[in-house]
């Protein structure tokens, strides 16, 4: 049984527990679980973008890996169509939008999406709804802590 667990590698449907750090080309840490709880997810459930998931296939518990990924492999490129100018009147009266601020917006379907405020004047607020890492090459460092076989596999 021990050899079977040691041989388990990350594949579709596996449950994975890991620490990760995402770093920009200039060394800025964009996101990390190192100082918090590790992330747990099932491969293919949409928790990670496809490019990040692909970097994990074949790894085993206890292994570490660092890969550099292009924007097309991760968060894509900024789309000018995702930058919108909204009337200032659409924001709460007591809210003072500021450049660089991240604000949660509700879509017509009720989903919440983040938007980064690009510019503000008395009449309008320009908001960028692109992913904050869109257009950036990133370094993805992972440490695999545990792997569980996909549900239904390995059971007798």
Q: Please check whether residues 70 and 137 belong to one and the same domain.
A: yes
Q: Please check whether residues 33 and 95 belong to one and the same domain.
A: no
Q: Please check whether residues 93 and 38 belong to one and the same domain.
A: no
Altogether, the residues listed in the chain come to a count of 156
- Residue pLDDT, tens place only, 124-156: 999 999 998 999 999 999 999 999 999 875 544
Q: Please check whether residues 70 and 104 belong to one and the same domain.
A: no
- Residue pLDDT, tens place only, 8-41: 899 999 999 999 999 999 999 999 999 999 999 9
- Segments forming the whole domain that contains residue 143: 2-75+133-148
Residue 89: CATH number of its domain: 2.40.10.330
- Give the pTM: 0.76
Q: Answer yes or no: are the C-beta atoms of 28 and 1 closer than 8 Å.
A: no
């Amino acid at each position: 049984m021990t050899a079977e667990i040691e041989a388990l590698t990350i594949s579709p449907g596996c449950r994975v527990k890991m620490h990760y750090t995402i770093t920009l080309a200039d060394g800025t840490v964009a996101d990390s679980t190192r100082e918090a709880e590790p992330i747990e997810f099932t491969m293919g459930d949409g928790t990670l973008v496809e490019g990040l998931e692909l970097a994990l296939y074949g790894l085993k518990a206890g292994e570490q890996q660092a890969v550099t990924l292009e924007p097309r492999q991760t968060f894509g490129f900024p789309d000018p169509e995702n930058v919108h100018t909204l009337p200032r009147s659409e924001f709460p009266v007591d809210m003072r939008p500021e450049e660089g601020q991240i604000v949660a917006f509700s879509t017509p379907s009720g989903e919440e999406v983040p938007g980064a405020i690009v510019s503000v004047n008395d009449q309008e607020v320009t908001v960028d709804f692109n992913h904050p890492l869109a257009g950036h090459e990133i370094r993805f460092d992972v440490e695999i802590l545990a792997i569980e076989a996909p549900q239904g596999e390995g059971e007798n």
